[in-house]
Amino acid sequence: MNTQANYVLTLSCGDRKGIVAAVANSIASQNCNICESAQYGDAETNRFFMRISFNAPEGMTKEQFEEGFGPVATGYGFDWKVHDLSKKPRVLVLVSQMGHCLNDLLYRNSTGQLPMDLVAVASNHTKYQSRVEHEQIPFHYLPVTKDTKAEQEAQIVELVERENIDLVILARYMQILSNELCERLAGKVINIHHSFLPSFIGAKPYHRAHARGVKMVGATAHYVTADLDEGPIIEQDVSRVEHFHSVNELIAQGRDTESQVLARAVRYHLEHRILLNGDRTVIFK
State the average pLDDT over residues 68-95. 97
The model's confidence at residue 198, banded by pLDDT at 50, 70 and 90, is: low
State the average pLDDT over residues 147-166. 97
Q: Is the pLDDT of residue 43 over 90?
A: yes
CA dihedral 198, 204, 207, 213 (to 10 degrees): 0
Q: Is the pLDDT of residue 1 over 60?
A: no
The model's confidence at residue 206, banded by pLDDT at 50, 70 and 90, is: confident
Q: Which member of 229, 237, 256, 279 is catalytic?
A: 229
Q: Is the pLDDT of residue 62 over 90?
A: yes
The pLDDT of residue 197: 62
Considering only CA atoms, which of 21, 19, 29, 97 is closest in space to residue 69?
29
Residues 208-243: tens digit of each pLDDT? 888 888 888 889 999 999 987 789 999 999 989 888
Answer yes or no: 229 catalytic. Answer: yes
Residues 164-195: tens digit of each pLDDT? 999 999 999 999 999 999 999 999 999 999 87
The pLDDT of residue 34: 97
Handedness of CA 162, 99, 110, 191 (dihedral sign): negative
The pLDDT of residue 70: 98
User: What percent of the chain stands above pLDDT 90?
Assistant: 83
Average pLDDT score, the chain: 94
Amino acid at 189: V
Residue 73 has, within 13 A of its CA and on its CB side, a CA count of 17
Considering only CA atoms, which of 199, 85, 181, 86 is closest in space to residue 142?
181
